[in-house]
Structure 1
Amino acid sequence: MYVLLTADGLFYGGFTDDVGKRLATHNAGKGAKFTRPKARRPLRLLYAEAFDNKSDALKAEAAFKKLTRSNKETFLHERGVFDF
């Protein structure tokens, strides 16, 4: 699971087994529909976490996406991420 910061200040959570490749895909405008608009790029990786299996990673991604903006900020702060 990973969290990106868009150029317009929004958070995007996703899942991949290759964060670097996925970030490049997003920044090329070929990732998720949410990250495609030019106003959202470039995207910056804020956080990445490895899981033992895909199921747990997808659950973490889904839980992150359901959080409010304030709770997403708290999630990141609790993991030592403050630069956004």
Structure 2
Amino acid sequence: MKLSYVYILKCSDGTFYTGVTSNLEKRFQEHSSGKHPRSYTFSRRPIELVYFEQFTNIAFAIQREKQVKKWSRAKKEALIQERQNTLPNLAKKKFQ
């Protein structure tokens, strides 16, 4: 069974990068070493792996990556800090 991963990296400038891969260790090494000079993380190294989820179906992993990429910084931080119970409230817009 081939596994896939959705991961979040914290960059040196404090931003988050969300990606999907079938080899988390190799992909992290590629980000860390700057293998891809045009990538988002290249000029934001060093990076830190702060979160990942494991999937047995690549289609579900890709779907989850797309979902998380659309999230606000606050919502991503809640996910990283394992505060899943706060995620619904962070999705709500605040009206005055």
TM-score bucket (shorter structure): 0.7 to 0.9
Amino acid of the residue matched to residue 6 of structure 1?
C
Distance 1:24 1:78 in 2: 25
Pairwise CA distance, 1:10: 0.9
State whether structure 2 residue 30 is matched by structure 1 residue 10. Answer: no
- What are the superposed Cα offsets for residues 26-68 of structure 1, whole Å, 9 maximum, x if unpaired? 111124621111xx10111111111121000011111111001
Cα RMSD, aligned residues only: 1.7
- Structure-2-length-normalised TM-score: 0.73
Structure showing greater Rg: 2
Higher RCO structure (Cα 8 Å, ≥6 apart): 1
Does 1:63 pair with 2:60? Answer: no
Deviation at 1:79, TM superposition (A): 6.0
Unaligned stretches of 5+ in structure 2? 1-5, 85-96
> Which stretches of structure 1, 4 residues or more, deviate above 3 A after TM superposition?
none
CA distance in 2, matches of 1:16, 1:71: 22
Gaps of 5+ in 1: none
- Give the aligned length: 78
TM-superposed CA distance for 1:78, in Å, is 2.4
Question: Sequence identity, in percent?
Answer: 40
Higher percent of residues as strand: 2
More deviation, 42-51/28-37? 28-37
Cα distance in 1, alignment partners of residues 59 and 51 from structure 2: 19
TM-score w.r.t. the length of structure 1 is: 0.82
